[in-house]
Amino acid sequence: MTSPAVSIPGYIAGTWDLDPVHSTIGFIARHLMVSKVRGQFTSFEAQIVTAPNPLDSTATATIDLSSVNTGNEMRDNDLRSTNFFDVETHPKMTFVSTGIRQEGENLLVDGELTIRGVTKPVTLAVDVNGFGPDPFGGTRAGFSAIAEIDRTDFGVSFNAPVPGGVMVSERIQIEIEAEAVLRKEE
């Protein structure tokens, strides 16, 4: 059963690969409950298949957790350790979309996120930034997405009590800026 169609200006159906040079997959965590620390992953791949009806489109992503970068080597090594991602046992984080829906003006991409071998449903709020030609004879698409997860749902539960709270928030914001390249038909 197909979903009702959505109108997106300049929309192009096809298979797209994320351009890692022009894309970021990042996160924000509260530190000591008084500030926010940002980080990102520098190694990832993703594929988006835009269907003729945008609501029938799909997306998949694989993120190399050892590529985490917060700008602090000690913190990054702690994030790679068994305290957080446990990259020796679980080197990848994955996302597989399960459906797309429209709520008012918003597009929501439902999917399954897997971290540390635990898979949970996650919804990304997505903005379609546009479709257009690039200077190399190809076609590009841009998307922005945000979500919020509870890291303890995925077994990422290490924390330390500090006066007035904890060292790291359980709620983590995910931010994605994606530029994708349309595959050329063979």
Angstrom distance (rounded) from CA 177 to CA 106 = 16
Query: Which are the contacts of 16, defined by CB distance < 8 A and separation ≥ 6?
Result: 47, 48, 49, 50, 141, 180, 181, 182, 183
Model pLDDT, residue 166: 65
Model pLDDT, residue 143: 97
pTM: 0.91
Go through the domains of the chain in sequence order and give each one's CATH number.
14-182 (2.40.128.110)
Angstrom distance (rounded) from CA 182 to CA 61 = 16
> Contact at 8 Å (CB) between 126 and 144?
yes
Model pLDDT, residue 3: 55
Q: Which two tokens stand for residue 184?
A: 């050329």
Model pLDDT, residue 165: 67
Q: Where are the beta strands (DSSP E) in the chain?
A: 14-18, 24-31, 35-41, 44-50, 58-64, 68-69, 92-103, 106-115, 118-133, 139-150, 161-162, 165-166, 168-182
Model pLDDT, residue 6: 78
Element containing residue 183 per DSSP (H, E) = none
State residue 44 phi and psi, 5-degree precision: -165, 165
State residue 55 phi and psi, 5-degree precision: -75, -10
Kindly give the confidence (pLDDT) of every residue in the chain, 186 residues in length, as a single tens digit, with 9 standing for 90 and above.
Answer: 455 567 888 999 999 999 999 999 999 998 777 789 999 999 999 999 999 999 999 999 999 999 999 999 999 999 999 999 999 999 999 999 999 999 988 899 999 999 999 999 999 999 999 999 999 999 999 999 999 999 999 998 877 766 776 668 889 999 999 999 999 875
> Contact at 8 Å (CB) between 112 and 143?
no
Model pLDDT, residue 1: 45
Angstrom distance (rounded) from CA 23 to CA 121 = 23
